[in-house]
Chain A
Amino acid sequence: GENVEQHPSTLSVQEGDSAVIKCTYSDSASNYFPWYKQELGKGPQLIIDIRSNVGEKKDQRIAVTLNKTAKHFSLHITETQPEDSAVYFCAAISGTYKYIFGTGTRLKVLA
C-alpha cells in the first residue's frame, strides 16, 4: 500500500544551524505534501505545504522542496531556534482527504 518514509527519526542541531528532514512517498498520484509541527501535549499544526505543480516554497525560515521524479520532498529550517524543538511530520495526499503520514522526526535545537 501507499506509505511515506521519513528520516531521520531524531535530529539534534545547534541553535542557529540549519535542519533538514526528508520524506519519500510511494503513490505517484500524490499531489499535496504538508508538513506538521507537533509540540509536547498539543495537536499537530500545519506549518507549510506544497502542491505537486510547484518545486519549492518558502516561508521565512522554513522551506519545502519537492522532487516529483524521485518522489522526495524535504523540509528545511534555517537559523534554528529553541522554539523549533518539536516533532515534525510529513504527509502525502492523493485525492482530498486520505493523508499518509510519515513516522515523525524529533528535532532538538540545542542552545
Chain B
Amino acid sequence: DAGVIQSPRHEVTEMGQEVTLRCKPISGHNSLFWYRQTMMRGLELLIYFNNNVPIDDSGMPEDRFSAKMPNASFSTLKIQPSEPRDSAVYFCASSPEAQVEKLFFGSGTQLSVL
C-alpha cells in the first residue's frame, strides 16, 4: 500500500499566481480530508469529502480556495489568486468507511507564496 500520495512536495510561487495541490487517497478509502498546518493555528480542517461529495467546506478560508474530487482516486485543492498568508503545509488525509475517524495522512505539500 503506497499510502496517501500528495504532489508536489514543495511549491514556491509568487503572490497572485494560481496554485494547485494534488492528492491520491488510499485505494478503498471513501473519505478524504484537506488540512492546513501552520505554527500559529496548528492543524485546521479545510474540507471533507465523502464518496467524492463535499460534506463540510466550512473550513475553507475564503473564495480563493476551492477543492474538487472528480473521482475516488483523485482530489485537488486550488488557490487562486495565492497570497503570502497562504504559506503553510497542506495535508491530504483519507480514511476507510468503517473507521472514518482514523486518518491516514500524506506527506504534505509545503507551500511558500512570495
Chain A residues within 8 Å of B, Cβ to Cβ? 32, 34, 36, 41-46, 49, 89, 93, 96-99, 101-104
Contact = CB atoms under 8 A, between A and B. Distances in A.
Interface string B7-42: 000000000000000000000000101000000001
A103 B103 CA distance: 17
B42 A46 contact: no
Contact of B100 (A46, A97, A102): A97
Given A41-B107, A43-B91, A43-B108, A93 B101 contact: yes
A97 B48 contact: yes
A105 to B, nearest CB: 12
Contacts, number: 47
Q: How large is the interface on B (under 10, 10 to 19, 20 to 34, 35 or more residues)?
A: 20 to 34
B3 to A, nearest CB: 9
B42 A101 contact: yes
Given A43-B108, A44-B43, A103-B42, A97 B102 contact: no
30 contacts: A32-B101, A34-B101, A34-B102, A36-B103, A36-B105, A41-B107, A42-B108, A43-B105, A44-B43, A44-B91, A44-B103, A45-B105, A46-B102, A46-B103, A49-B102, A93-B101, A96-B100, A96-B101, A97-B33, A97-B48, A97-B56, A97-B100, A97-B101, A98-B45, A99-B101, A99-B103, A101-B43, A102-B42, A103-B42, A104-B42
